[in-house]
């Protein structure tokens, strides 16, 4: 039997920011975010992004929607889409509050319009941790978004100095989640990272400073696990 983990220590990070929209397994993402917020003793901040592209394109007269459950088709109505997005946001907010209460964390919630990654980055403030996850495919039953931490906690070690705080954070999370801790240089090829099968990647914020959205998505898709971006 393993020893019980030590009680979480306050990490010095202010908030854990988690974003979601109608496309992701938002409920599970929230669970994970709450668990990490408890592990690192931060506030929990949720950002629901209403997909502006979807709202715009719903105005096309011929657009139809194929419903996942019933496999029926129906015309895409902008008003109905917006209503459904708001309803999803409402459900997410309620869920966020429940989880934060259970984890004894303070929480906040915002709804914004835009693109998920960009909107999330725009909401981030200094001292925030940002939880990212791999992008979804539209197809139901296809590749599963991995949101359970089912492997070691991997730290992308920064090239520059000042990574001690990050390592402490990574080790703390690993201990609380009872996972092993591993480290990999930031310049490790994506294919190699994928082979390491991490359960959670902790990456310094400057790793993606010069990257575009596509690069971030490529990274999250390659590691196939949640990614926690932390300020150095």
Partner 1 sequence: MTDRNVKHVKRVGALRAEELRRHCEAGCLSFASTAELADPEHAWGQERAINAIEFGADISREGYNLFVFGAPGAGKRNLVRQILERRAAKLPPPSDWIYVYNFAEPHKPNAIALPAGEGVRFHNAQMHMLEELRTAIPAIFESEEYRVRRHAIDEKVRESQESAFAVLDRRAAEKSIRVVRTPAGITLLPARGGELIKPEAFQALPENERQQIESDIQELQKEIVQTFESMPRVEKERRQALRELNREFANFAVREIIDEARAAFDGIPEVREYLDLMQADIINNVQIFTQSHEMQEASELPGGGQAGTGAGGAGPGDGLAQALLGNPFQRYETNLIVDNSGLQGAPVYYEAKPTVQQLVGRVEHIAQMGALLTNFMLIKAGALHQANGGYLLIDARALLSQPFAWDTLKRALWGREVRIESPADLLSMVSTISLEAEPIPLRTKVVLFGEAIIYYLLSAHDPEFQNLFKAVAEMEDVVDWTPESEAAFSRQFAAICRALGLRHLDPTGAGRMIEQVARLAGDAEKLSLHNGKISDLLREADYWAGKDGADLISAGHVQQAVNLREERIGRLRDRSLEAITRDIVLIETDGAHIGQINGLSVLSIGELTFGRPSRISARIGIGAGRVLDIEREVELGGPLHSKGVLILSGFLRERFGTEHPLALTASLVFEQSYGGIDGDSASSAELYCLLSAIAKIPINQSFAVTGSVNQHGEVQAIGGVNEKIEGFFDVCAKRGLTGRQGVLIPSANVKHLMLRADVVTAVYEGRFHIHAVDTIDRGIEILTGLPAGERQADGKFPEGSVNARVEARLRAFAEARKQADGGQSGNGESRARL
Q: Does 95 bind partner 1 (CB under 8 A)?
A: no
SS3 158: coil
SS3 26: helix
Distance CA 192, CA 188 (A): 7
Instruction: Give the one residue of 4, 7, 140, 189 binding partner 1; rule: CB under 8 A.
Output: 140
Among 193, 116, 145, 41, which residue's Cα sits nearest to residue 207? 193
**What residues numbered 6-25 form the site for partner 1, per CB under 8 A?**
22-23
By rule CB under 8 A, what string of x and - marks binding of each residue 44-63 to partner 1?
---------xx-xxxxx-xx
Instruction: Count interface residues toward partner 1 (CB under 8 A).
Output: 35
Cβ proximity to partner 1, 60 vs 159, nearer residue: 60
Q: Does 27 bind partner 1 (CB under 8 A)?
A: no
Distance CA 116, CA 225 (A): 17
Q: Are 176 and 153 in contact (CB under 8 A)?
A: no
**What residues numbered 173-232 form the site for partner 1, per CB under 8 A?**
none
Residues in the chain: 232
Residues that bind partner 1 (CB under 8 A): 22-23, 53-54, 56-60, 62-69, 71, 73, 76, 81, 84-85, 87-88, 136-144, 148
């Amino acid at each position: 039997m393993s020893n019980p983990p030590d009680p979480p220590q306050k990490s010095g990070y202010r908030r854990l920011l988690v974003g979601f929209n109608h496309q992701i397994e938002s409920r599970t993402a929230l669970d994970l975010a709450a668990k990490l917020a408890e592990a690192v003793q931060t506030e929990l901040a949720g950002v629901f992004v209403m997909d502006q592209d979807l709202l715009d394109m719903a105005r096309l007269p011929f657009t139809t929607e194929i419903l996942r459950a019933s496999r029926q088709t129906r015309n895409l109505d902008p008003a109905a889409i917006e209503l459904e997005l708001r309803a999803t946001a409402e459900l997410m907010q309620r869920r966020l509050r429940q989880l934060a209460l259970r984890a004894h964390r303070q929480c906040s919630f915002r709804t914004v319009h835009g693109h998920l990654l960009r909107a999330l980055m725009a909401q981030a403030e200094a001292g925030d941790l940002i939880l990212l996850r791999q992008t979804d495919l539209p197809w139901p039953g296809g590749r599963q978004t991995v949101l359970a931490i089912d492997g070691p906690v991997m730290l992308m070690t920064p090239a520059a100095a000042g990574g001690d705080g990050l390592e402490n954070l990574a080790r703390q999370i690993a201990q609380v989640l009872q996972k092993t801790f591993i480290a990999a240089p930031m310049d490790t090829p994506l294919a190699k990272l994928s082979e390491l099968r991490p359960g959670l990647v902790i990456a310094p914020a400057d790793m993606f400073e010069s990257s575009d959205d596509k690069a971030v998505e490529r990274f999250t898709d390659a590691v196939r696990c949640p990614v926690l971006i932390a300020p150095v």
